[in-house]
């Protein structure tokens, strides 16, 4: 049997979960579209505008799948034994540190992309306190972050009169606020603990995702109709306690917190967006799980791409830097299509010949080194 024949027969078979790889593949292609695609504002009745769905939702799908992967790496549906936790902590720190450094390297390419990998690496460390939490506890934590995180952040921003600083911008008010994205990761961890390989789990996840979409996008529609827009952020510094009351009134704490709850636009970080787009991501994962068996031959290239998401994402960002130049901007649906084809072909060939992606090998090796794990307790190779 040739290498290609063996790969087509064996890739994505249990215990690996092909549907998760397919979902990661969609996330990568969606983020590529958000970066370089030419899209129009989404209108449900106009299929020509549906490509606009890639904005915001693709990165959210990526974050949910990160949580699923963390759950699978740390015991799948079994809560890790306390004796394993120290090694798992170090493993996640090592993994997160290397992903963070890769993200910094990609940011140095000076593309217009808001690189997700720096925050992505930080999230691997942020989940450490939750490793032994049960699924229902993870879901409650994710729900509380979704419902209260955006409002509390907006209120804090208002009462402190829009503070700034490297740490604040990175963790709280940048493109990927930690409180927002931690909710997605914790939700993904809960899903990964719930026997995700079972058809029943996928079916329940699909229904739950659709329900969250209805609630989240419904809230967003109410906010738009009611005109709950974010107030003008151009306000003067307080200049001391004497002027603080006037500056606080100008900051409009009630207005910004209300807007944060109903905000639904991509990357707004609002509660409505978390619920709606988080539900969208959950539904996509569920559909990929349900369709990966009957459509396996057709989905293998996407699965190959999703088996090496870190490598594929990095190659995509590098390609933009090489073609557009430092600080250059590239917007073309043709380039998006070529990117999708090239990434799937390259990932399929690499998977056939070498197996795991190159950066996935690097991250896995760094994680194992950090944890000083013996071979029998090394991180699972089933999920990146």
- pLDDT recorded at residue 173: 84
- pLDDT recorded at residue 174: 79
- pLDDT recorded at residue 234: 55
d(CA 132, CA 74): 9
Render pLDDT for 265-280 as a digit per residue (tens, 0 to 9). 998 999 999 999 999 9
Render pLDDT for 324-359 as a digit per residue (tens, 0 to 9). 988 888 899 999 999 999 999 999 999 999 999 999
The angle that helices 271-291 and 18-36 make with each other, rounded to 10 degrees, is 130
Q: What's the average model confidence in pLDDT over 122-131?
A: 96
Render pLDDT for 61-73 as a digit per residue (tens, 0 to 9). 999 999 999 999 9
Render pLDDT for 282-306 as a digit per residue (tens, 0 to 9). 999 999 999 999 999 999 999 999 9
pLDDT-above-90 percentage for the chain: 77
Higher pLDDT, 96 or 234: 96
Structural domain boundaries of the chain?
3-377
Phi, psi of 131 (to 5 degrees): -60, -35
- pLDDT recorded at residue 170: 81
User: What tokens were used for 163?
Assistant: 């503070």
Minimal CA–CA distance to 319: which of 109, 118, 175, 120? 109
What lies within 8 Å, CB to CB, of 11 at 6+ separation is 18, 300, 303, 304, 351
Confidence bin at 44 (pLDDT 50/70/90) = confident
d(CA 374, CA 257): 49
Residue 380 has pLDDT above 60, yes or no: no
- pLDDT recorded at residue 339: 97
Confidence bin at 230 (pLDDT 50/70/90) = low
Cα 301 versus chain centre, distance: 21
pTM: 0.92
SS3 at position 171: helix
- pLDDT recorded at residue 183: 96
Sign (positive/negative) of CA torsion 189, 193, 198, 204?
negative
Q: What's the average model confidence in pLDDT over 352-380?
A: 80
Phi, psi of 156 (to 5 degrees): -60, -40
Minimal CA–CA distance to 263: which of 297, 290, 223? 223
d(CA 315, CA 72): 26
Residue 236 has pLDDT above 70, yes or no: no
């Amino acid at each position: 049997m040739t290498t290609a024949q063996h790969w087509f027969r064996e890739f994505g078979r249990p215990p690996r979960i092909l549907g998760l790889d397919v979902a990661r593949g969609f996330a990568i292609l969606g983020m590529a579209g958000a970066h370089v695609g030419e899209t129009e504002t989404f209108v449900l009745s106009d299929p020509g505008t549906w490509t606009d769905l890639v904005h915001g939702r693709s990165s959210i799908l990526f974050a949910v799948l990160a949580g699923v992967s963390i759950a699978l790496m740390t015991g799948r549906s079994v809560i890790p034994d306390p004796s394993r936790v120290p090694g798992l902590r170090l493993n996640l720190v090592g993994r997160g540190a290397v992903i963070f450094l890769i993200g910094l390297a990609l940011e140095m390419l000076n593309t217009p992309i808001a690189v997700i990998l720096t925050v992505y690496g930080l999230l691997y460390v942020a989940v450490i306190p939750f490793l032994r939490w049960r699924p229902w506890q993870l879901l409650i934590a994710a729900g509380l972050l979704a419902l209260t995180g955006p409002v509390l952040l907006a209120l804090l921003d208002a009462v402190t009169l829009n503070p700034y600083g490297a740490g604040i911008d990175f963790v709280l008010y940048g493109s990927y606020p930690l409180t927002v994205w931690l909710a997605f990761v914790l939700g993904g961890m809960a899903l990964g603990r719930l026997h995700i390989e079972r058809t029943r789990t996928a079916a329940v996840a699909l229904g739950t995702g659709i329900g969250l979409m209805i609630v989240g996008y419904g809230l967003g529609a109410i906010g738009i109709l009611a005109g709950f827009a974010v107030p003008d952020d151009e306000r003067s510094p307080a200049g001391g306690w004497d002027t603080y009351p006037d500056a606080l009134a100008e900051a409009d704490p009630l207005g910004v917190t209300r807007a944060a709850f109903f905000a639904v636009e991509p990357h707004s970080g609002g509660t409505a967006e978390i619920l709606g787009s988080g539900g969208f991501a959950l539904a996509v994962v569920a559909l990929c799980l349900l369709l990966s068996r009957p459509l396996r031959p057709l989905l293998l290239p996407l699965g190959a791409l999703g088996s090496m998401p870190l490598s594929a994402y990095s190659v995509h960002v590098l390609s933009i830097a090489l073609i557009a130049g430092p600080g250059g901007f590239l917007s073309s649906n043709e380039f998006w299509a070529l990117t999708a084809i090239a990434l799937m072909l390259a990932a399929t060939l690499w998977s056939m010949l070498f197996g795991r992606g190159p950066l996935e090998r690097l991250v896995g090796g760094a994680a194992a080194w950090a944890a000083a794990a013996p071979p029998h307790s090394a991180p699972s190779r089933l999920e990146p």
